[in-house]
Amino acid sequence: MVWEMVDLCNCVSAGLPKTEANWQHVASDLKRIESLMQSIHIDATLYTESDVRPSCKVTAMKCFLLELCVIYQESNNMDMKDTVYNLILLANSSLSSNGTITESGCKECEELEEKNVKEFLRSFRHIVQMFINTS
């Protein structure tokens, strides 16, 4: 599972959103992660896009998915690891792997502000909602 996660984190898709996206399932997994986070302390700061422009949502989603790998690696809780793994799989399958797009004027992951896990999850929930509203 560890090697699968490394591969998964290294292949975050750069495609366009599919209309048949599973974003509702991604949102459910995100709620589970937020719930698990109530009893798990992860002391990490994560690159967080707080103000996602619709024209940069794919770029921002890729950053969120890469940062989720940090939560996966920092957690010793198997429920958390399984849920993060599943969320990344669902989100990746919901992004098209057919071709790449260039979203101009978007920040690179490393240019984003580092925030605590709670703020990261709040912003992540917002971008997932953006995908739900446009699928």
Q: How far apart are CA 93 and CA 78, in angstroms?
A: 22
Q: Examine residue 8 and state whether it is found in any structural domain, yes or no.
A: no
- Per DSSP bridges, beta strands 113-116 and 45-48 are antiparallel
End-to-end Cα separation, the chain, in angstroms: 31
Query: Phi first, then psi: what are they for 122, rounded to 5°?
Result: -65, -45
103 three-state secondary structure: coil
Q: How far apart are CA 83 and CA 98, in angstroms?
A: 26
Q: Examine residue 11 and state whether it is found in any structural domain, yes or no.
A: no
Q: Examine residue 16 and state whether it is found in any structural domain, yes or no.
A: no
Count of structural domains, the chain: 1
pTM of the complete model: 0.82
Query: Tokens 């989100």 correspond to what residue?
Result: 91
Q: Examine residue 86 and state whether it is found in any structural domain, yes or no.
A: yes
- CB half-sphere exposure, 71, CA atoms < 13 A: 30
Query: Which domain covers residue 67, as residue numbers?
Result: 21-133
Q: Examine residue 39 and state whether it is found in any structural domain, yes or no.
A: yes
Q: Examine residue 30 and state whether it is found in any structural domain, yes or no.
A: yes
Residue 46 pairs in a beta bridge with 115
Q: Examine residue 13 and state whether it is found in any structural domain, yes or no.
A: no
Q: Per-residue confidence of the chain (135 residues) as pLDDT tens digits?
A: 544 555 666 555 444 444 444 899 999 999 999 999 999 888 889 999 998 898 899 899 999 999 999 999 999 999 999 999 999 999 988 876 434 666 888 999 999 999 999 999 999 999 999 988 876
Q: Examine residue 124 and state whether it is found in any structural domain, yes or no.
A: yes
The CATH number that applies at residue 69 is 1.20.1250.70
Of residues 125, 51, 49, the one with CA closest to residue 87 = 125
